[in-house]
């Protein structure tokens, strides 16, 4: 019985997390420019942001970020990789 309650409570917890994700209208797109480059295999680890390499040795990460906590998570990952952050810009979309 305790196992069933744990499963039931676990499912409720998952439901709450799903409800906490903002709708598409609240998701913002960002362009993050850094000095240094990674290949596209890092995209998933960087929250699915697109990786674009620039000829001058810089890299642009672009894509949707659900909230400020997720943005800080990406910026922390960039910091842990010892890449130099050059700019962070919100990109307005026509939605």
Does residue 1 belong to any structural domain of this protein?
no
Query: Is residue 87 included in any domain, yes or no?
Result: yes
Assessment of whether the complete model's pTM goes beyond 0.95: no
Total count of domains within the chain: 1
Q: Say which CATH number the domain at 48 has.
A: 3.30.70
Residue-range definition of the domain harbouring residue 52: 24-91
Residue 6 inside a domain? The answer is: no
3-class state of residue 94 by DSSP? coil
Question: Residue 4 falls within a domain, yes or no?
Answer: no
21-60 burial code (b ≥16 CB/10 A, e <16): eeeeeebbebbbbbeeebeeeeeeebbebebeeeeeebbb
Is the distance from CB of 78 to CB of 65 less than 8 angstroms?
no
pLDDT (tens place) for every residue of the chain, 95 residues total: 444 444 444 444 334 434 444 555 578 999 999 999 999 999 999 999 999 999 999 999 999 999 999 999 999 999 999 999 999 999 998 76
* 11, part of any domain: no
């Amino acid at each position: 019985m305790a196992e069933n309650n744990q499963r039931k409570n676990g499912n409720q917890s998952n439901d709450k997390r799903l409800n906490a994700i903002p709708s598409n209208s609240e998701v913002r797109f960002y362009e993050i420019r850094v000095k240094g480059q990674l290949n596209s295999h890092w995209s998933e680890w960087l929250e699915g942001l697109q990786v674009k390499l620039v000829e001058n040795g810089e890299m642009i990460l672009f894509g949707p970020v659900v909230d400020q906590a997720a943005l800080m998570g990406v910026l922390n990952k960039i910091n842990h990789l010892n890449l130099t952050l050059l700019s962070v810009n919100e990109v307005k979309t026509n939605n």
